[in-house]
Amino acid sequence: MMLRIGSGSGWWGDRISPAEQSAREGALDYLCFETMAEATISTAQVRARADASFPGYDTYLEDRMAAVLPHCIANGTRIVSNQGWINPLGAARKVRQMLDDLGRPDWKVAAVTGSVITEGLRGSEVAILETGKPLSSLGDTLISAEAYLGTEAIVEALAQGAHVVITGRVADPALFLAPMIHTFGWGAGDHLLRARGAAIGHLLECGAQLTGGYFSDPGVKDIPEPWNLGFPIAEVTPDGSATFSKIAGTGGLLNRQTVLEQMFYEVHDPANYITPDAVVDFTTAVIEEVGPDRVRVSGISGKPATDSYKVSIGAQEGFVGEDMFFYAGPGARAKAELAKRILAERFDIVGLQAQDIRMDILGVDAIHGASSPDPACEPYEVAVRVAARCLTRAEAAKVGREVDGMAVSGIASTGKRVPFQDRVREVIGIWSALVDRSAARGQVEFV
pLDDT digits (tens, 9 = 90+) for 201-259: 999 999 999 999 999 999 999 999 999 999 999 999 999 999 999 999 999 999 999 99
Which residues, 6+ apart, have CB-to-CB distance to 95 below 8 Å? 61, 65, 69, 109, 164, 166
- Beta strands (DSSP E) in 122-281 are 142-147, 164-167, 233-236, 242-245, 273-274, 279-281
CA distance readout (Å), 60 to 7, 18, 95, 179, 257: 16, 15, 12, 23, 31
Strands 286-291 and 294-298, how do they pair? antiparallel
pLDDT of residue 251: 96
pLDDT of residue 330: 93
* pLDDT tens profile 261-290: 999 999 999 999 999 999 999 999 999 999
pLDDT tier, 1 (very low <50, low <70, confident <90, very high otherwise):
confident
Residue 29 near residue 304 (C-beta atoms within 8 A): no
Exposure on the CB side of residue 66, measured as CA atoms within 13 A: 5
Residue 367 has pLDDT above 90, yes or no: no
Share of the chain above pLDDT 90, in %: 87
Backbone conformation region of residue 49, classed left if phi is above 0, alpha if psi is from -120 to 50, else beta: alpha
Single pTM value for the model? 0.93
- Beta strands (DSSP E) in 64-134 are 78-81, 109-113
* pLDDT tens profile 31-83: 999 999 887 777 788 788 788 899 999 999 999 999 999 999 999 999 999 99
To the nearest 10°, report the CA torsion of 156, 160, 165, 171: 10
Residue 276's H or E segment, with its range, is none
Q: In order of start, what are the domains of the chain with their CATH numbers? A: 3-114+149-306 (no CATH), 313-430 (3.30.70)
pLDDT of residue 49: 79
